[in-house]
Amino acid sequence: MRLPRSVAAGLAAAVLCGSLTGCSSLKQLTSSSKPLAGASSPSASPTPSASPSAVAVKLPVRASGPLDTGTVTHSLKQGAFSVKLTYWTSDNAKLYSAETLKTINVAAHVEDADSTHQITISTFQVVQDDGTKRVTAATDNGKFDVTPPYPYNTVVTLPAATTGATTLTLTIRLDLLVETAPKSGSYYRSTALDTLTLPLLTNGAN
């Protein structure tokens, strides 16, 4: 006798369940299934990385210079007398950089000496050193009378310095001839040396 299809399916499920140890129902069998091998599991969301904190950039600071106020005076002791050197400029020295034009006035006069011994300047020289390059910025040779009260005055224009230089060091040299006795026509040499350091602006300096 041919059984209806619904009855046959029910008998088959009952036989299968009876052959499995501990199986109480078809529902229990199907609920014990595991995921197939190779199936991908949901991946965890990537954790956003912390953004680096901003680092403050420290700008270079320009040092103060002797000509920031426009003028400076140095006194050089030369045995029995002194040479006073005054430097001044109409430039804004606070804005000096390696490339800017720099014009400096120099005045020299003798102090603590009488007017009976003649004193002359035979050489005035300025050497510029920017740490990379050393050049002679000015040389003046002659016989310049600086017997008191006469002064010596000159103007020095400095050449451009090496790009990136932070300072200019000026070495000023004066060769003096000092009369050994009044109206003797005999002289001895005295050399006065001075230095002037000019700070320069670099990129980003304030």
Cβ atoms of 163 and 99 closer than 8 Å: yes
3 C-beta neighbours (distance < 10 Å), count: 10
**What is the pLDDT confidence band of residue 203, given thresholds at 50, 70 and 90?**
confident
Residue 158 lies in a domain: yes
Question: 6: which 2 tokens?
Answer: 């619904």
**Identity of the amino acid at 175:** D
Handedness of CA 32, 35, 41, 42 (dihedral sign): negative
Give the separation between CA 158 and CA 170, rounded to whole angstroms.
Answer: 10
Peptide bond preceding 159 in cis form (omega within 30 of 0): no
Q: Where are the beta strands (DSSP E) in the chain?
A: 71-78, 81-88, 102-111, 119-129, 134-145, 152-158, 167-179, 187-199
Could you tell me the pLDDT band of residue 26, with boundaries at 50, 70 and 90? very low
Please give the share of the chain, as a percent, with pLDDT higher than 90: 67
- Has residue 126 been placed in a domain? yes
Type of residue found at 194: D
191 domain-assigned: yes
Identify the pLDDT of residue 100: 94
The two three-digit tokens of residue 151, written as one number: 């002064």
pTM: 0.71
Where residue 79 sits, what CATH number does that domain have? 2.60.40.1470
Domain hosting 111: range is: 71-199
Cβ–Cβ < 8 Å for 107, 137:
no
Is there a domain that residue 113 lies in?
A: yes
Residue 164 lies in a domain: yes
Q: Flag whether 162 is in a domain.
A: yes
> Which is higher by pLDDT, 33 or 108?
108
- Whether residue 31 is contained in a domain is answered as no
What is the count of structural domains for the chain?
1
- Beta-carbon count within 10 A of 178 CB: 20
Domain membership of residue 85 (yes or no) is: yes
